[in-house]
């Protein structure tokens, strides 16, 4: 059994996808929690790209939550499977997962941060989760630079917000329609499609089983933003999927 290391931002829903897949497959792993911007040299040196999650497994560094899950499926086929066996269900599951990666992840991230990013204390608490005193001190002095880089890099501004809100609602319409008469996105069992959509929507649905819990006091604007989606069936679906399928975290230590 491998003992991988997950390089992550604890808050990142793409990292939650990988944590969930590892936990689902009962794989013991270690996390290395990184700070935005400070992560660049660590991640780029190992993968020649900038983003987390990155999984170190069998002395290889694997980037991209979809590729990591694919690698886990291939490496540990006898662990509980996330890919359907049937060919057409397999294609459908990958298509739904890619849809959620593309149409939910970036748009929910932009619209949610729009309501949070100027709250210095809250952003400090969210982004330094998992850090010790040294990391927290380093982040405190560079926080204004990090926030500027996040705003520019993710186009967190009114225009970006407006267009992402439209995209997010369109994606949720499609999920609501699909889930009208179905408990799962593909077939009659939990697959990578459900894991991906639920993990990426967790910041909105806030299931209690999600390992990353937001700070207790969130700004009113953010609470109102979440409440506006509450009538959608997909919100309860996310909570049900978490309750039924989010296995508790495997024992892990932070490097
Ligand atoms: N398609 C990627 C997306 C990962 C992603 O967007 N990661 C963000 C955090 S949520 C990141 O590392 N951003 C830092 C950067 O771009 O420098 C995946 O599935 O892993």
Q: Has residue 252 been placed in a domain?
A: no
Q: What is the CATH number of the domain that holds 17?
A: 3.40.30.10
Report the pLDDT averaged over residues 174-196: 97
Q: How far is the CA of 69 from the centre of ligand 1 (A)?
A: 15
Q: Which domain holds residue 152?
A: 87-245
DSSP state of 246: -
Percentage of the chain exceeding pLDDT 70: 98
Q: Has residue 25 been placed in a domain?
A: yes
Can you tell me whether residue 253 is helix, strand or coil? coil
13 Cα nearest atom in ligand 1: 10
50 Cα nearest atom in ligand 1: 17
Asked if residue 206 lies in contact with residue 199, where contact means CB atoms within 8 angstroms, the answer is no
Q: What is the CATH number of the domain that holds 197?
A: 1.20.1050.10
Our mutation pick for probing the ligand 1 site, out of 14, 48, 67, counting the most ligand atoms within 8 A of Cβ, is: 14
Q: Has residue 251 been placed in a domain?
A: no
Whole-angstrom distance, CA of residue 182 vs CA of residue 255: 41
Regarding whether 43 and 161 lie in a shared domain, the answer is no
Is the pLDDT at 255 greater than 70? The verdict is: no
153 Cα nearest atom in ligand 1: 16
Regarding whether 14 and 128 lie in a shared domain, the answer is no
Percentage of the chain exceeding pLDDT 90: 93
Report the pLDDT averaged over residues 99-112: 98
Regarding whether 17 and 47 lie in a shared domain, the answer is yes
Residue 122: its pLDDT value, please?
Answer: 97
Report the pLDDT averaged over residues 207-236: 96
Contact residues of ligand 1, CB 6 A cut-off:
9, 12, 14, 50-53, 64-66, 101
Report the pLDDT averaged over residues 159-169: 98
Is the pLDDT at 145 greater than 60? The verdict is: yes
Is the pLDDT at 160 greater than 90? The verdict is: yes
Report the pLDDT averaged over residues 23-49: 97
Q: What pTM did the predictor assign?
A: 0.97
Domain boundary among 24, 40, 75: 75
Our mutation pick for probing the ligand 1 site, out of 19, 51, 111, counting the most ligand atoms within 8 A of Cβ, is: 51
Is the pLDDT at 55 greater than 80? The verdict is: yes
pLDDT in tens, 60-87: 999 999 999 999 999 998 789 999 999 9
Is the pLDDT at 185 greater than 70? The verdict is: yes
Regarding whether 222 and 169 lie in a shared domain, the answer is yes
Regarding whether 158 and 57 lie in a shared domain, the answer is no
Structure tokens at 190: 């939990």
Regarding whether 204 and 107 lie in a shared domain, the answer is yes
- Which of 140-144, 146-150, 196-200, 244-248 is predicted least confidently? 244-248
Is the pLDDT at 250 greater than 80? The verdict is: no
Regarding whether 110 and 62 lie in a shared domain, the answer is no
Regarding whether 91 and 70 lie in a shared domain, the answer is no
Band the pLDDT of 248: cuts 50, 70, 90.
Answer: confident
Regarding whether 124 and 181 lie in a shared domain, the answer is yes
Domain boundary among 43, 75, 107: 75
Regarding whether 199 and 113 lie in a shared domain, the answer is yes
Band the pLDDT of 200: cuts 50, 70, 90.
Answer: very high
Report the pLDDT averaged over residues 131-135: 96
Regarding whether 71 and 99 lie in a shared domain, the answer is no
Structural domain total, the chain: 2
Q: Which of 7, 52, 91, 24 is nearest to 241 (CA)?
A: 24
For residue 127, CA distances in Å to 60, 195, 209 come to 27, 23, 20
Our mutation pick for probing the ligand 1 site, out of 35, 38, 52, 192, counting the most ligand atoms within 8 A of Cβ, is: 52
Regarding whether 189 and 101 lie in a shared domain, the answer is yes
Instruction: Say which residues have a Cβ less than 8 Å from residue 101's Cβ, sequence separation at least 6.
Output: 14, 65, 66, 196, 200
């Amino acid at each position: 059994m491998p003992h991988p290391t997950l390089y992550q931002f604890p808050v990142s829903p793409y990292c939650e996808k990988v944590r969930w897949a590892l936990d689902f497959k009962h794989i013991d792993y270690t996390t290395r929690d990184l700070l935005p911007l400070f992560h660049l040299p660590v991640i780029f040196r190992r993968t020649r790209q900038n983003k987390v999650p990155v999984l170190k497994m069998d002395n290889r560094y694997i980037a991209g939550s979809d590729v990591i899950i694919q690698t886990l499926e291939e490496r540990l086929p006898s662990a509980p499977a996330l890919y359907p066996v049937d060919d057409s269900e397999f294609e459908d599951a990958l298509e739904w997962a890619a849809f959620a990666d593309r149409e939910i992840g970036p748009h929910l991230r932009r619209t949610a941060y729009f309501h949070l990013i100027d709250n210095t204390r809250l952003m400090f608490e969210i982004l330094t989760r998992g850090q010790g005193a040294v990391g927290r001190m380093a982040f405190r002095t560079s926080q204004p630079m990090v926030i500027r880089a996040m705003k520019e890099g993710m186009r967190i501004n009114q225009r970006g917000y407006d267009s992402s809100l439209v995209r997010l609602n369109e994606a949720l319409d499609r999920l609501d329609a699909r889930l009208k008469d179905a408990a799962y996105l593909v077939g009659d069992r939990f697959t990578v499609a459900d894991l991906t959509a639920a993990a990426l929507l967790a910041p909105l649905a806030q299931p209690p089983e999600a390992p990353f819990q937001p700070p207790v006091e969130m700004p009113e604007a953010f609470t109102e933003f979440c409440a506006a989606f509450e009538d959608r069936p997909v919100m309860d679906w996310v909570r049900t999927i978490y309750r039924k399928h989010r296995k508790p975290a495997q024992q892990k230590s932070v490097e």
